[in-house]
A and B are shown apart, each in its own frame.
Chain A
Amino acid sequence: GQNIDQPTEMTATEGAIVQINCTYQTSGFNGLFWYQQHAGEAPTFLSYNVLDGLEEKGRFSSFLSRSKGYSYLLLKELQMKDSASYLCAVIHRGYGQNFVFGPGTRLSVLP
Chain B
Amino acid sequence: DTEVTQTPKHLVMGMTNKKSLKCEQHMGHRAMYWYKQKAKKPPELMFVYSYEKLSINESVPSRFSPECPNSSLLNLHLHALQPEDSALYLCASSPGQGNGANVLTFGAGSRLTVL
Contacts and interface: CB of A to CB of B under 8 A. Distances in A.
Interface of A: 30-31, 33, 35, 41-45, 48, 87, 91, 95-104
Interface residues of B, number: 23
Contacts of B11: none
Given A96-B50, A98-B48, A42 B56 contact: no
User: Secondary structure of the A side of the interface?
Assistant: loop
A98 B15 CA distance: 30
24 contacts: A30-B102, A31-B102, A33-B102, A35-B104, A42-B108, A43-B104, A43-B106, A44-B106, A45-B105, A48-B103, A87-B43, A91-B102, A95-B56, A96-B55, A97-B31, A97-B48, A97-B102, A98-B45, A99-B33, A99-B102, A101-B43, A102-B42, A103-B41, A104-B42
